[in-house]
Structure formats: structure tokens, C-alpha cells
A and B are shown apart, each in its own frame.
Chain A
Amino acid sequence: MEELRVTAKVENLDLVLDFLNTHLESMDCPMKAQMQLDIAVEELFVNIATYSYAPGTGDAVIRVEKDPSGGMVKITLIDKGVPYDPLAKEDPDVTLSAEERQIGGLGIFMVKKSVDDMYYEYKDGENRLTLCKKI
């Protein structure tokens, strides 16, 4: 298991994605899956950076691990901010026209579409969101 701990601020997004991509590449993760995981982690990390500790700041941890069978990568994002389950949010209506669309609200939906499975738990004062994707 590989782990990175950074201050949860948007400026650290590149650090987080570099860390993620380095490990995905070492796992021979296909390009497409890598892009989808980048999308998912970007949305989640930016959410943590924007809301979790507002107006203060704190740490975010990202863990990347490969399932022992080799066919699955598991990514966990952890923060100690306000309890927030992003999966509880209702999906946006993706059939609306440009005029009817709200700017935003798509992030978590894109995360859900980018991974095979995800689950959330709040434990020991931590938000833990785990993404699973077949590679």
C-alpha cells in the first residue's frame, strides 16, 4: 500500500495526481482507467480541499493499493473534516439542456461513473471514501 499525506488545498492537486499516476503506471493500469481514476480523485480531493475543513485547513490522505489478485485497484481518500457522505447526494439530471443546467453538481456523478464500486464510512473522526476499479 502506498500513502500520501498532504495539506488539503487545491494547490496540492497536482501532487496528488502525480502520486496517483506514478503508482497506477507501476501497476500497468491502462490509460483509460487511469484517466477515469484521475477524474474521480480530482473531484474528491477538490471537494475535501474546498469544504471539509472550511474555513480552516487540515490534512488529506490518499492511499493506493492493488488487490492481491491483481485485477483491482483500491484508492482511499481520508480526511478529518466535517462528516460528509458524497454518495448521499442525488444524481444530477444529465438530460437537461445547457440553459437548464446548473454550473456544477456533476463532480460526484462523474466519480460514480468512473469507478466500479465505491463506499463511504465515517470512523474514528475520519471521512473515508474508497474507490474500486478493475484494471
Chain B
Amino acid sequence: MLNITKTAEGSALTIALEGRLDTTTAPDLEGVWKEASDGITELTIDLKTLDYISSAGLRVLLSMQKTMNKQGKMRVTNVSSDVMEVFEVTGFSDILTIE
């Protein structure tokens, strides 16, 4: 289960994720991002209530990061220690801007 909440303010978008970002749910986030990404220059991904991330989830975050490298900035906030450990092991802690 993954709940995705979008909050847009002009060209700034916050996407809050709640639950699990895995093989089953990663396509949902991909779909939401595809629809919302046009013209976004500031993207915040709030992971406060994200319990779990697998490589399928990392793939979507990487693709979002690549898009934002072209059109603006992306930051990831409120990362739990479990999710942070996954980011560290995979080198994603260096790729993402984690605040």
C-alpha cells in the first residue's frame, strides 16, 4: 500500500509518500510524477511516513532525480533511519539531496 499526496504551489511541488514504495506500488508514483512533472522547478519528496523502499522504489526516485537535474531542484525530506540505511548502502545518499 502506498498513499501519494501531492501539494502544488506554482512550479513547486511536494509529494508525500505513506506506506511502502515497492515493485507493486512504484508504478503508481511513476504515473503521478509523469502527470505532474511538467514545468516543476522545485520538487520535494516527503518520506516521513514511508516505511519501506525496495530497488523498484529507488529506480523511480533516480528517474525523478534525473528529470529534476534538467529542470530544477529536488530534495528529499524526513527520511527515517531504516530508509536512510537503504540510501546509504546503495549510494543514493550521495545522489539525492537529503534534508
A-to-B contact residues, CB < 8 Å: 10, 13-14, 31-32, 35, 38-39, 42-43, 46, 94-99, 101, 103-104, 106-107, 109-110, 113
Contacts and interface: CB of A to CB of B under 8 A. Distances in A.
Given A35-B82, A95-B91, A96-B91, A46 B59 contact: no
A103 B54 contact: no
Interface stretch (B2-10, B34-42, B60-68): B60-68
Contact of B23 (A46, A94, A96): A46
Interface string B20-35: 0011100000000000
Contacts of B90: 94, 106, 109-110, 113
Interface of B: 22-24, 51-52, 54-56, 58-59, 62-63, 65-66, 69, 82, 85-86, 89-91, 94-95
A101 B62 contact: yes
